[in-house]
Amino acid sequence: MSKNRFILLIFSIAASFFISGCARQMFSDRTSDENRSQTYTVKETNGYIGVFYGESKTPYEILDADISEFPPEDQLLLKNGITVNSREELNEVLEDYSE
């Protein structure tokens, strides 16, 4: 490999890492803002667990978890809806129902 090609290769790798790091930071900042301001509701939807974004009446995700298999107290919680204030809290609730 010639010296010029080697230098170009090193420069390309360094530029890729720099661009990747900048994009990752921008996405991280945006996700962090969304986590602080967005609410999610986890509730029963046609016998399954639905995840609702904000005030939406339509679930953006329906989990393949039949709530009739859960204890009665969990079924009641899901029928009433569990509202959380961040994606992190949402993940914690979903983990509870996916085990």
- Note the pLDDT tens digit of each residue in 32-91: 445 445 899 999 999 999 999 998 999 999 999 999 999 999 999 999 999 999 999 999
Cα separations in angstroms, 25 against 14, 18, 49, 86, 96? 17, 11, 33, 19, 30
Instruction: Tell me what pLDDT residue 35 has.
Output: 46
Q: In what order do the strands lie in the sheet with 61-66?
A: 61-66, 48-53, 40-45, 82-84
15 or 74, greater pLDDT: 74
Cα–Cα distance between 73 and 54 in angstroms, integer? 24
Instruction: Tell me what pLDDT residue 99 has.
Output: 63
